[in-house]
Amino acid sequence: KGLTKADWPKVWRHHDLKPRYDVVIIGGGLHGLATAYYLAAYHGVRNIAVLDKGYLGGGGSGRNTAIVRSNYLTPEGVRFYDRSLKLYENLASELNFNVMFSQRGHLTLAHNDGGLRTMRWRAEVNKVQGVDSEVIGPEEIKKLVPSMDTSAQARYPILGALYHPPGGIIRHDAVVWGYARAAAGLGVHLHQETEVTGIDVRHGRVTGVRTTRGDIATGTVVNCTAGWATLISEMAGVEMPVTTSPLQAAVTEPVKPFLDTVVVSGTLHVYVSQTDRGELVFGASVDPFTSYSVRGSLEFVEGLASNVLKLMPGLSKMRLLRQWAGLCDMTPDYSPIMGPTSVEGFFVDVGWGTYGFKAGPVAGEAMAECISTGRTPQIIAHFGLDRFRSGRLVGEKGAAAVGH
Ligand code: PYC
Protein backbone atom coordinates (compact mmCIF):
# COMPACT_ATOMS: atom_id res chain seq x y z
CA LYS A 1 0.00 0.00 0.00
CA GLY A 2 1.42 3.41 -0.97
CA LEU A 3 1.87 6.40 1.34
CA THR A 4 -1.22 8.51 1.93
CA LYS A 5 -1.37 12.16 2.92
CA ALA A 6 -2.05 11.12 6.52
CA ASP A 7 1.32 9.32 6.70
CA TRP A 8 3.25 12.58 6.36
CA PRO A 9 3.96 14.41 9.62
CA LYS A 10 2.72 17.99 9.83
CA VAL A 11 5.57 20.45 9.21
CA TRP A 12 3.99 23.11 11.45
CA ARG A 13 1.03 22.93 13.82
CA HIS A 14 -2.10 25.01 14.09
CA HIS A 15 -2.26 26.95 17.39
CA ASP A 16 -4.96 28.93 19.14
CA LEU A 17 -4.07 32.62 19.22
CA LYS A 18 -2.45 33.41 22.57
CA PRO A 19 -3.57 36.62 24.34
CA ARG A 20 0.03 37.85 24.49
CA TYR A 21 3.21 37.47 22.40
CA ASP A 22 6.58 39.16 22.86
CA VAL A 23 6.80 39.86 19.13
CA VAL A 24 4.04 39.90 16.50
CA ILE A 25 5.21 39.73 12.89
CA ILE A 26 2.66 40.75 10.28
CA GLY A 27 3.20 38.92 6.99
CA GLY A 28 3.92 35.19 6.70
CA GLY A 29 6.18 35.45 3.68
CA LEU A 30 9.92 34.97 3.43
CA HIS A 31 10.79 38.17 5.33
CA GLY A 32 8.40 37.55 8.22
CA LEU A 33 9.40 33.91 8.58
CA ALA A 34 13.12 34.65 8.32
CA THR A 35 12.80 37.36 10.98
CA ALA A 36 10.99 34.93 13.25
CA TYR A 37 13.58 32.22 12.62
CA TYR A 38 16.63 34.43 13.36
CA LEU A 39 14.95 35.89 16.46
CA ALA A 40 14.23 32.41 17.80
CA ALA A 41 17.47 30.71 16.70
CA TYR A 42 20.02 33.45 17.47
CA HIS A 43 18.42 35.80 20.00
CA GLY A 44 16.44 33.43 22.24
CA VAL A 45 13.12 35.21 21.52
CA ARG A 46 10.57 32.42 21.08
CA ASN A 47 7.21 33.82 22.12
CA ILE A 48 6.52 35.03 18.58
CA ALA A 49 3.41 35.05 16.40
CA VAL A 50 3.63 35.32 12.60
CA LEU A 51 0.27 36.42 11.18
CA ASP A 52 -0.84 36.10 7.58
CA LYS A 53 -4.24 36.93 6.15
CA GLY A 54 -3.79 34.16 3.57
CA TYR A 55 -1.37 31.25 3.55
CA LEU A 56 2.40 31.19 4.18
CA GLY A 57 4.36 32.32 1.12
CA GLY A 58 1.22 33.19 -0.85
CA GLY A 59 2.32 36.76 -1.62
CA GLY A 60 5.53 37.96 -3.21
CA SER A 61 7.49 35.01 -1.77
CA GLY A 62 5.62 32.55 -3.98
CA ARG A 63 5.21 34.86 -6.96
CA ASN A 64 8.74 36.05 -7.68
CA THR A 65 10.92 34.54 -10.39
CA ALA A 66 13.34 33.00 -7.86
CA ILE A 67 16.40 35.01 -8.94
CA VAL A 68 19.19 35.70 -6.46
CA ARG A 69 22.11 38.07 -7.10
CA SER A 70 24.22 40.76 -5.46
CA ASN A 71 25.42 42.80 -8.48
CA TYR A 72 23.79 46.03 -7.31
CA LEU A 73 24.78 49.63 -8.04
CA THR A 74 25.35 51.30 -4.67
CA PRO A 75 27.98 50.09 -2.16
CA GLU A 76 25.23 49.89 0.49
CA GLY A 77 23.10 47.72 -1.78
CA VAL A 78 25.97 45.47 -2.90
CA ARG A 79 27.07 44.75 0.68
CA PHE A 80 23.52 44.09 1.79
CA TYR A 81 22.46 41.76 -1.05
CA ASP A 82 25.81 39.99 -0.93
CA ARG A 83 25.31 39.08 2.71
CA SER A 84 21.95 37.62 1.63
CA LEU A 85 23.60 35.60 -1.12
CA LYS A 86 26.10 34.20 1.38
CA LEU A 87 23.24 33.22 3.70
CA TYR A 88 21.47 31.59 0.73
CA GLU A 89 24.63 29.60 -0.05
CA ASN A 90 24.47 28.03 3.40
CA LEU A 91 20.69 27.92 3.79
CA ALA A 92 20.12 24.23 3.02
CA SER A 93 22.38 23.18 5.88
CA GLU A 94 21.22 26.02 8.17
CA LEU A 95 17.59 24.87 7.81
CA ASN A 96 18.21 21.18 7.04
CA PHE A 97 15.96 21.62 4.00
CA ASN A 98 16.86 21.25 0.34
CA VAL A 99 16.33 24.73 -1.11
CA MET A 100 17.76 23.77 -4.53
CA PHE A 101 20.09 26.74 -4.97
CA SER A 102 21.65 26.74 -8.42
CA GLN A 103 24.44 29.34 -8.73
CA ARG A 104 24.41 29.23 -12.49
CA GLY A 105 25.56 32.78 -13.22
CA HIS A 106 23.55 35.89 -14.07
CA LEU A 107 23.87 37.94 -17.26
CA THR A 108 22.50 41.47 -17.66
CA LEU A 109 22.65 42.41 -21.34
CA ALA A 110 23.56 45.85 -22.68
CA HIS A 111 22.11 46.82 -26.04
CA ASN A 112 23.41 50.39 -26.26
CA ASP A 113 26.27 52.58 -25.04
CA GLY A 114 24.31 53.89 -22.05
CA GLY A 115 23.54 50.33 -20.94
CA LEU A 116 27.16 49.27 -21.31
CA ARG A 117 28.30 52.24 -19.24
CA THR A 118 25.95 51.25 -16.40
CA MET A 119 27.21 47.63 -16.56
CA ARG A 120 30.82 48.85 -16.29
CA TRP A 121 29.89 51.08 -13.39
CA ARG A 122 28.16 48.21 -11.57
CA ALA A 123 31.09 45.87 -12.26
CA GLU A 124 33.51 48.33 -10.68
CA VAL A 125 31.34 48.97 -7.61
CA ASN A 126 30.87 45.18 -7.25
CA LYS A 127 34.60 44.46 -7.47
CA VAL A 128 35.45 47.09 -4.85
CA GLN A 129 33.00 45.31 -2.51
CA GLY A 130 34.58 41.93 -3.30
CA VAL A 131 31.67 40.74 -5.45
CA ASP A 132 32.42 38.68 -8.56
CA SER A 133 31.12 40.69 -11.58
CA GLU A 134 32.69 41.66 -14.89
CA VAL A 135 31.66 42.99 -18.28
CA ILE A 136 31.95 40.44 -21.08
CA GLY A 137 31.47 40.72 -24.85
CA PRO A 138 29.13 39.03 -27.35
CA GLU A 139 31.47 36.10 -28.04
CA GLU A 140 31.64 35.06 -24.42
CA ILE A 141 27.89 35.61 -24.08
CA LYS A 142 27.29 33.27 -27.02
CA LYS A 143 29.40 30.59 -25.34
CA LEU A 144 27.35 30.89 -22.16
CA VAL A 145 23.99 31.06 -23.98
CA PRO A 146 24.21 29.43 -27.42
CA SER A 147 20.46 29.95 -28.00
CA MET A 148 20.84 33.75 -27.90
CA ASP A 149 21.00 35.82 -31.07
CA THR A 150 24.24 37.74 -30.53
CA SER A 151 24.60 38.71 -34.21
CA ALA A 152 24.98 42.31 -35.34
CA GLN A 153 21.73 41.85 -37.33
CA ALA A 154 19.57 41.39 -34.22
CA ARG A 155 16.82 44.00 -33.78
CA TYR A 156 18.56 45.09 -30.55
CA PRO A 157 22.19 43.99 -31.00
CA ILE A 158 23.95 42.87 -27.82
CA LEU A 159 27.06 44.98 -27.12
CA GLY A 160 28.07 43.22 -23.91
CA ALA A 161 26.77 42.06 -20.55
CA LEU A 162 27.42 42.29 -16.85
CA TYR A 163 28.32 38.72 -15.91
CA HIS A 164 27.84 37.78 -12.25
CA PRO A 165 28.82 34.11 -11.70
CA PRO A 166 27.50 33.75 -8.09
CA GLY A 167 23.94 34.76 -9.11
CA GLY A 168 21.35 32.13 -9.88
CA ILE A 169 17.97 30.71 -8.97
CA ILE A 170 16.66 29.00 -5.86
CA ARG A 171 13.39 27.19 -5.23
CA HIS A 172 11.31 29.96 -3.66
CA ASP A 173 8.66 27.76 -2.02
CA ALA A 174 11.37 25.62 -0.44
CA VAL A 175 12.95 28.73 1.08
CA VAL A 176 9.60 29.70 2.65
CA TRP A 177 8.86 26.19 3.90
CA GLY A 178 12.40 25.76 5.23
CA TYR A 179 12.21 28.94 7.33
CA ALA A 180 8.63 28.14 8.43
CA ARG A 181 9.53 24.63 9.55
CA ALA A 182 12.66 25.78 11.38
CA ALA A 183 10.84 28.67 13.12
CA ALA A 184 7.92 26.43 14.12
CA GLY A 185 10.40 23.87 15.49
CA LEU A 186 11.78 26.60 17.79
CA GLY A 187 8.31 27.35 19.14
CA VAL A 188 7.16 30.20 16.85
CA HIS A 189 3.38 30.22 16.26
CA LEU A 190 2.45 30.51 12.57
CA HIS A 191 -1.11 31.81 12.19
CA GLN A 192 -2.49 31.57 8.67
CA GLU A 193 -5.86 33.06 7.65
CA THR A 194 -5.47 35.62 10.43
CA GLU A 195 -5.98 39.14 9.14
CA VAL A 196 -4.79 42.18 11.06
CA THR A 197 -7.57 44.74 11.46
CA GLY A 198 -5.86 47.25 13.74
CA ILE A 199 -2.75 48.12 15.70
CA ASP A 200 -3.08 49.69 19.15
CA VAL A 201 -0.72 52.54 20.03
CA ARG A 202 -0.79 54.29 23.41
CA HIS A 203 1.40 57.25 24.34
CA GLY A 204 3.60 56.73 21.28
CA ARG A 205 4.20 53.02 21.75
CA VAL A 206 2.67 49.83 20.42
CA THR A 207 0.48 47.90 22.85
CA GLY A 208 -1.34 45.35 20.73
CA VAL A 209 -2.67 44.00 17.47
CA ARG A 210 -6.29 43.31 16.58
CA THR A 211 -7.07 40.43 14.24
CA THR A 212 -10.03 38.57 12.76
CA ARG A 213 -9.32 35.81 15.31
CA GLY A 214 -9.03 38.01 18.39
CA ASP A 215 -6.80 40.61 20.02
CA ILE A 216 -3.16 40.17 21.00
CA ALA A 217 -1.24 42.21 23.58
CA THR A 218 2.36 42.89 22.56
CA GLY A 219 5.07 45.52 22.81
CA THR A 220 6.71 44.73 19.48
CA VAL A 221 5.10 44.61 16.03
CA VAL A 222 7.00 44.10 12.78
CA ASN A 223 5.45 45.01 9.44
CA CYS A 224 6.85 42.45 6.98
CA THR A 225 4.16 42.80 4.36
CA ALA A 226 4.41 43.48 0.65
CA GLY A 227 1.46 44.98 -1.16
CA TRP A 228 -0.14 46.02 2.14
CA ALA A 229 2.86 47.82 3.64
CA THR A 230 1.22 51.24 3.64
CA LEU A 231 -2.09 49.94 4.97
CA ILE A 232 -0.49 48.13 7.92
CA SER A 233 1.83 51.04 8.74
CA GLU A 234 -1.11 53.47 8.67
CA MET A 235 -2.80 51.33 11.34
CA ALA A 236 0.10 52.32 13.62
CA GLY A 237 -0.05 55.94 12.42
CA VAL A 238 3.16 55.71 10.38
CA GLU A 239 3.11 57.05 6.83
CA MET A 240 5.18 55.30 4.15
CA PRO A 241 6.39 56.83 0.86
CA VAL A 242 5.39 53.70 -1.05
CA THR A 243 3.25 52.98 -4.11
CA THR A 244 2.15 49.51 -5.16
CA SER A 245 2.29 48.12 -8.69
CA PRO A 246 1.82 44.60 -10.06
CA LEU A 247 4.68 42.73 -11.69
CA GLN A 248 3.67 40.01 -14.11
CA ALA A 249 5.44 36.74 -14.84
CA ALA A 250 4.82 33.58 -16.84
CA VAL A 251 6.08 30.04 -17.26
CA THR A 252 6.28 27.74 -20.30
CA GLU A 253 5.80 24.03 -20.75
CA PRO A 254 8.90 22.04 -19.69
CA VAL A 255 11.56 21.27 -22.29
CA LYS A 256 14.98 19.62 -22.21
CA PRO A 257 17.56 21.76 -20.33
CA PHE A 258 19.29 24.20 -22.69
CA LEU A 259 19.65 27.40 -20.64
CA ASP A 260 21.90 27.28 -17.61
CA THR A 261 22.36 30.97 -16.83
CA VAL A 262 19.88 33.68 -15.86
CA VAL A 263 19.47 36.19 -18.72
CA VAL A 264 18.19 39.73 -18.21
CA SER A 265 17.59 42.46 -20.77
CA GLY A 266 16.68 45.86 -19.38
CA THR A 267 16.09 47.29 -22.85
CA LEU A 268 13.67 44.49 -23.76
CA HIS A 269 12.13 44.45 -20.26
CA VAL A 270 12.48 40.71 -19.82
CA TYR A 271 14.38 38.12 -17.79
CA VAL A 272 14.42 34.39 -18.32
CA SER A 273 15.76 31.30 -16.57
CA GLN A 274 15.09 27.57 -16.88
CA THR A 275 13.94 25.64 -13.82
CA ASP A 276 15.13 22.17 -12.82
CA ARG A 277 11.82 20.89 -14.24
CA GLY A 278 12.67 22.40 -17.63
CA GLU A 279 10.15 25.24 -17.65
CA LEU A 280 11.24 28.68 -18.77
CA VAL A 281 10.32 31.35 -16.22
CA PHE A 282 9.84 34.86 -17.61
CA GLY A 283 9.37 38.15 -15.82
CA ALA A 284 9.09 41.76 -16.88
CA SER A 285 8.99 45.30 -15.50
CA VAL A 286 6.36 46.36 -13.03
CA ASP A 287 3.12 47.41 -14.70
CA PRO A 288 3.07 51.15 -15.41
CA PHE A 289 0.20 51.84 -12.98
CA THR A 290 -0.59 51.33 -9.33
CA SER A 291 -2.94 48.48 -8.52
CA TYR A 292 -3.51 45.59 -6.12
CA SER A 293 -4.48 43.22 -8.93
CA VAL A 294 -2.56 39.93 -9.16
CA ARG A 295 -4.12 38.83 -12.45
CA GLY A 296 -2.16 38.43 -15.65
CA SER A 297 -3.04 40.31 -18.85
CA LEU A 298 -2.94 39.40 -22.55
CA GLU A 299 -1.09 42.64 -23.28
CA PHE A 300 1.76 41.46 -21.04
CA VAL A 301 2.05 38.11 -22.81
CA GLU A 302 2.08 39.76 -26.24
CA GLY A 303 4.90 42.12 -25.27
CA LEU A 304 6.80 39.37 -23.47
CA ALA A 305 6.65 36.94 -26.41
CA SER A 306 7.76 39.53 -28.91
CA ASN A 307 10.70 40.62 -26.72
CA VAL A 308 11.83 37.12 -25.79
CA LEU A 309 11.89 36.14 -29.48
CA LYS A 310 14.15 39.09 -30.26
CA LEU A 311 16.68 37.51 -27.90
CA MET A 312 16.07 33.82 -28.58
CA PRO A 313 14.22 33.33 -31.89
CA GLY A 314 14.40 29.54 -31.48
CA LEU A 315 11.73 29.65 -28.75
CA SER A 316 8.92 30.56 -31.16
CA LYS A 317 7.10 27.22 -30.87
CA MET A 318 7.10 27.04 -27.07
CA ARG A 319 3.78 27.23 -25.26
CA LEU A 320 3.08 29.28 -22.15
CA LEU A 321 1.46 27.29 -19.33
CA ARG A 322 0.66 29.90 -16.71
CA GLN A 323 0.89 33.58 -15.96
CA TRP A 324 0.41 35.50 -12.73
CA ALA A 325 1.36 38.71 -10.97
CA GLY A 326 2.78 39.77 -7.62
CA LEU A 327 2.66 43.13 -5.86
CA CYS A 328 5.71 45.39 -5.65
CA ASP A 329 5.90 48.18 -3.08
CA MET A 330 8.03 50.85 -4.72
CA THR A 331 9.95 53.50 -2.77
CA PRO A 332 11.23 56.74 -4.35
CA ASP A 333 14.88 55.50 -4.40
CA TYR A 334 14.19 51.78 -5.06
CA SER A 335 15.80 50.79 -1.75
CA PRO A 336 13.84 49.22 1.11
CA ILE A 337 12.60 50.83 4.32
CA MET A 338 13.88 48.92 7.36
CA GLY A 339 14.21 49.42 11.08
CA PRO A 340 12.43 51.27 13.89
CA THR A 341 9.84 53.99 13.33
CA SER A 342 8.57 57.01 15.26
CA VAL A 343 6.20 54.66 17.13
CA GLU A 344 8.13 52.79 19.78
CA GLY A 345 7.97 49.03 19.25
CA PHE A 346 6.72 49.34 15.65
CA PHE A 347 9.32 48.13 13.14
CA VAL A 348 9.15 47.98 9.36
CA ASP A 349 10.75 45.75 6.75
CA VAL A 350 8.97 46.95 3.64
CA GLY A 351 9.28 48.76 0.28
CA TRP A 352 11.10 45.99 -1.51
CA GLY A 353 10.02 46.81 -5.05
CA THR A 354 11.29 43.91 -7.16
CA TYR A 355 14.19 43.02 -4.85
CA GLY A 356 12.44 41.36 -1.90
CA PHE A 357 13.16 37.71 -2.58
CA LYS A 358 16.90 38.26 -2.96
CA ALA A 359 17.00 40.02 0.41
CA GLY A 360 14.94 37.60 2.52
CA PRO A 361 17.73 35.99 4.58
CA VAL A 362 19.69 39.17 5.32
CA ALA A 363 16.50 41.11 6.02
CA GLY A 364 15.46 38.48 8.55
CA GLU A 365 18.89 38.39 10.13
CA ALA A 366 19.17 42.19 10.41
CA MET A 367 15.60 42.76 11.61
CA ALA A 368 16.03 40.11 14.30
CA GLU A 369 19.17 41.84 15.56
CA CYS A 370 17.51 45.25 15.41
CA ILE A 371 14.48 44.07 17.41
CA SER A 372 16.33 42.08 20.05
CA THR A 373 19.19 44.51 20.71
CA GLY A 374 17.32 47.78 20.14
CA ARG A 375 20.18 48.91 17.87
CA THR A 376 20.04 49.24 14.10
CA PRO A 377 22.71 46.99 12.52
CA GLN A 378 25.18 48.78 10.26
CA ILE A 379 24.15 46.70 7.24
CA ILE A 380 20.67 48.33 7.23
CA ALA A 381 21.62 51.71 8.71
CA HIS A 382 21.16 53.44 5.33
CA PHE A 383 17.66 52.06 4.78
CA GLY A 384 15.82 53.91 7.58
CA LEU A 385 12.57 55.78 6.97
CA ASP A 386 14.22 59.03 8.12
CA ARG A 387 16.27 59.19 4.88
CA PHE A 388 13.25 60.63 3.09
CA ARG A 389 13.44 63.58 5.46
CA SER A 390 17.22 63.97 5.49
CA GLY A 391 17.50 63.47 1.72
CA ARG A 392 20.18 60.78 2.08
CA LEU A 393 18.65 58.48 -0.51
CA VAL A 394 20.20 55.19 -1.68
CA GLY A 395 19.43 55.28 -5.43
CA GLU A 396 19.19 51.67 -6.57
CA LYS A 397 17.07 52.09 -9.71
CA GLY A 398 20.10 51.46 -11.93
CA ALA A 399 20.44 47.94 -10.52
CA ALA A 400 16.89 46.93 -11.45
CA ALA A 401 16.73 43.81 -13.59
CA VAL A 402 14.57 45.66 -16.06
CA GLY A 403 13.34 49.23 -16.40
CA HIS A 404 10.62 50.54 -14.12
O1 PYC B 1 16.09 42.52 -9.72
O2 PYC B 1 16.87 40.60 -10.35
C3 PYC B 1 15.95 41.37 -10.15
C4 PYC B 1 14.57 40.91 -10.40
C5 PYC B 1 14.19 39.72 -10.93
C6 PYC B 1 12.83 39.75 -10.95
C7 PYC B 1 12.41 40.94 -10.47
N8 PYC B 1 13.49 41.65 -10.12
Tell me the CA–centroid distance for residue 71 and ligand 1, in Å.
11
Q: Which residue CA neighbors atom 3 of ligand 1 most closely?
A: 401
Tell me the residue type at 70: S
Distance 375 CA to ligand 1 centre (A): 30
Q: Atom 4, ligand 1: which residue's CA is nearest?
A: 401
Measured between alpha carbons, how far is residue 70 from residues 67, 127, 162, 399 in Å? Answer: 10, 11, 12, 10
| pTM higher than the cut 0.95 | yes
Q: Ligand 1 centroid to 44 CA: how many Å?
A: 34
SS3 at position 330: strand
Nearest protein Cα to ligand 1, atom 1: 401
Whether the Cβ atoms of residue 308 and residue 315 lie closer than 8 Å to each other: yes
Per-residue pLDDT tens digits of the chain, which is 404 residues long:
688 888 888 889 999 999 999 999 999 999 999 999 999 999 999 999 999 999 999 999 999 999 999 999 999 999 999 999 999 999 999 999 999 999 999 999 999 999 999 999 999 999 999 999 999 999 999 999 999 999 999 999 999 999 999 999 999 999 999 999 999 999 999 999 999 999 999 999 999 999 999 999 999 999 999 999 999 999 999 999 999 999 999 999 999 999 999 999 999 999 999 999 999 999 999 999 999 999 999 999 999 999 999 999 999 999 999 999 999 999 999 999 999 999 999 999 999 999 999 999 999 999 999 999 999 999 999 999 999 999 999 999 989 877 66
Q: Which atom of ligand 1 is nearest to the CA of 249?
A: 6
Closest CA to ligand 1's atom 7: 354
Q: Which residues line ligand 1 (CB under 6 A)?
A: 65, 67, 69, 271, 283, 354-355, 400-401
Q: In whole angstroms, what is the distance from residue 233 CA to residue 189 CA?
A: 22
ipTM: 0.93
Q: Where are the beta strands (DSSP E) in 195-256?
A: 196-202, 205-211, 214-217, 221-223, 243-252
